[in-house]
Amino acid sequence: MTQAELHVLGYGVALLFAFGLIHLLGLEGIRWAKPQRHQHSPLGLLLTFWGLALLHMIEIAIAAVVIATLLGEPQYGMLSDGMNSSLAADYLYFAGISFSTLGYTGMEAHGPIRLMVMMLSLSGFMLITWSATFIYTIWGETFRQ
């Protein structure tokens, strides 16, 4: 592996670990903020859903900033020609699609940045699965007799 690939992979692993901590803190915040089981059950589920959506949007925004920062250095690679590097929306789109669909975007990553996309896809898969398990648990707690 080249030095640039090792750097990008290191950033990707660090991002995965950071997402784990951010997600854990976010889930604890959601659990604390939602009404108790016997009070407003449907509201608790909605707050859990909205909280998870916000948490994932924050994680995607963090990933977009990391990708934009890395792509500011030419040795880390580039995205396909359809990418307008001056638009934050392009980075958000790329990060969000990579996070939620295991990297099936209309843009392609070229060079070492591909390793970041791989780690972002792994992170997204793990975090979305964790969120699904969390909301399933909240659903069970809400309607348990």
Higher pLDDT, 8 or 80: 8
Domain range list for the chain: 3-32+40-143
* pLDDT (0 to 100) of residue 145: 46
Higher pLDDT, 104 or 134: 134
> pLDDT tens digit string along 126-143?
999 999 999 988 888 777
Mean pLDDT across 87-110: 82
- Assign a CATH topology to domain 3-32+40-143: Helix Hairpins (1.10.287)
DSSP string, the chain: --HHHHHHHHHHHHHHHHHHHHHHHHHHHHHHHSPPTTS-HHHHHHHHHHHHHHHHHHHHHHHHHHHHHHHTSGGG-EE-TT--TT-HHHHHHHHHHHHHHTT--SS-EESTHHHHHHHHHHHHHHHHHHHHHHHHHHHHHHH--
* pLDDT (0 to 100) of residue 59: 97
Closest CA to 132 of 48, 7, 18: 48
Is 0.85 topped by the overall pTM? yes
With 80 as the cut, is the pLDDT of residue 95 above it?
Answer: yes
* pLDDT (0 to 100) of residue 140: 80
